[in-house]
Amino acid sequence: MRILDLIVNKRNGISHTVEELEWLINAFTKEQVPDYQIAAWLMAVYFKGMTENETAALTMAMAQSGEILDLSGLPGIKVDKHSTGGVADTTTLVLAPLVAAAGVPVAKMSGRGLGFTGGTIDKLEAIPNFNVMIDRNSFIENIRRHGLAITAQSASIAPADGKLYSLRDVTGTVESIPLIASSIMSKKIAAGADKILLDVKVGSGAFMKNWEDALQLALIMVSIGRIVNRETVAVITSMEEPLGLAIGNSLEIQEAIDVLKGEGSAELRHLCLTLGAHMLVLAGRVDEVNGGYRLLHELLHSGAALAKFAEFITAQGGDASIISNSQLLPQAKHTAEISLGTAGYIRRIESARIGHAAALLGAGRMYKNQPLDLSVGIILHHRVGDYIDSDQTVATVHYNDEEKLLEATEYLKPAFELSSEKPLKSPLVLGVVKYNSVDKYF
Please tell me what DSSP assigns to residue 82: E
165 vs 411 by CB, closer to ligand URA: 165
Exactly one of 16, 81, 146, 187 is catalytic; which is it?
187
Pick the stretch among 47-55, 126-134, 179-187, 273-281 that binds ligand URA (CB under 6 A): 179-187
**Bridge partners of residue 346, in order along the sequence:** 418
What are the φ and ψ backbone dihedral angles of 426, each rounded to 5 degrees?
Answer: -80, 150
Angle between helices 91-101 and 266-282 (to 10 degrees): 50
Work out the end-to-end distance of the chain between its first and last CA atoms, rounded to an integer number of angstroms. Answer: 48
CA dihedral for 189, 194, 199, 200, sign (positive or negative): positive
Q: How far is the CB of 111 from ligand URA (least distance, A)?
A: 7
| Rounded Cα gap, residues 389 and 133, in angstroms | 46
Pick the stretch among 176-184, 196-204, 217-225, 238-246 that binds ligand URA (CB under 6 A): 176-184
Q: How far is the CB of 334 from Ca ion (least distance, A)?
A: 6
- Pick what 250 binds: ligand URA, Ca ion, none; C-beta below 5 to 8 Å, kind-dependent: none
21-50 burial by CB neighbour count: b if 16+ within 10 A, else e? bbbbbebbbeeebeeebbbbbbbbbbeebb
What are the φ and ψ backbone dihedral angles of 438, each rounded to 5 degrees?
Answer: -125, 115
208 vs 379 by CB, closer to ligand URA: 208
CB closest to ligand URA, residue no: 183
Is 82 catalytic? The answer is yes
| Rounded Cα gap, residues 438 and 133, in angstroms | 38
How, if at all, do strands 246-247 and 395-399 pair? unpaired
- Pick what 117 binds: Ca ion, ligand URA, none; C-beta below 5 to 8 Å, kind-dependent: none
Is 183 catalytic? The answer is yes
Pick the stretch among 91-99, 123-131, 138-146, 175-183 that binds ligand URA (CB under 6 A): 175-183
Contact 431, 200 (CB under 8 A): no
Q: How far is the CB of 85 from ligand URA (least distance, A)?
A: 5
Residues 287-346 that bind Ca ion (CB under 5 A): 335
Run of H or E residues at 430: strand 429-434
Q: How far is the CB of 114 from ligand URA (least distance, A)?
A: 6
Q: How far is the CB of 174 from ligand URA (least distance, A)?
A: 6
| Rounded Cα gap, residues 149 and 138, in angstroms | 9
| Rounded Cα gap, residues 332 and 399, in angstroms | 5
Exactly one of 112, 146, 168, 278 is catalytic; which is it?
168
14 vs 114 by CB, closer to ligand URA: 114
Residues 137-166 that bind ligand URA (CB under 6 A): 165
Q: How far is the CB of 339 from Ca ion (least distance, A)?
A: 13
Please, what is the Cα angle at 98 between 92 and 101, to 5 degrees? 140
Please select the residue that binds ligand URA; options are 110, 183, 237, 375, rule is CB under 6 A.
183
Exactly one of 10, 16, 81, 82 is catalytic; which is it?
82
- The three-state secondary structure class of 83 is strand
Q: How far is the CB of 433 from ligand URA (least distance, A)?
A: 17
What are the φ and ψ backbone dihedral angles of 82, each rounded to 5 degrees?
Answer: -145, 140
CB closest to Ca ion, residue no: 335
Can residue 250 be called a binding residue for ligand URA (CB under 6 A)?
no
Is 168 catalytic? The answer is yes
Contact letters for ligand URA, residues 65-104 (x by CB under 6 A): -------------------xx-------------------
92 vs 375 by CB, closer to ligand URA: 92
CA distances from 439 to 209, 217, 310, 429 (A): 19, 15, 36, 11
Can residue 184 be called a binding residue for ligand URA (CB under 6 A)?
yes
- Please work out the total of residues on this chain that contact Ca ion, with binding judged by CB under 5 A: 1
Q: Is 211 exposed, middle or buried (0-12, 13-18, 19+ CB in 10 A)?
A: middle
Can residue 351 be called a binding residue for ligand URA (CB under 6 A)?
no
Exactly one of 65, 183, 186, 375 is catalytic; which is it?
183
| Rounded Cα gap, residues 380 and 251, in angstroms | 11
- The three-state secondary structure class of 348 is strand
Is 301 catalytic? The answer is no
Q: How far is the CB of 357 from Ca ion (least distance, A)?
A: 17
179 vs 224 by CB, closer to ligand URA: 179
210 vs 335 by CB, closer to Ca ion: 335
Can residue 180 be called a binding residue for ligand URA (CB under 6 A)?
yes
Contact 28, 38 (CB under 8 A): yes
Binding site for ligand URA (CB under 6 A): 84-85, 114, 165, 179-180, 183-184
| Active-site residue list | 82, 161, 168, 183, 187
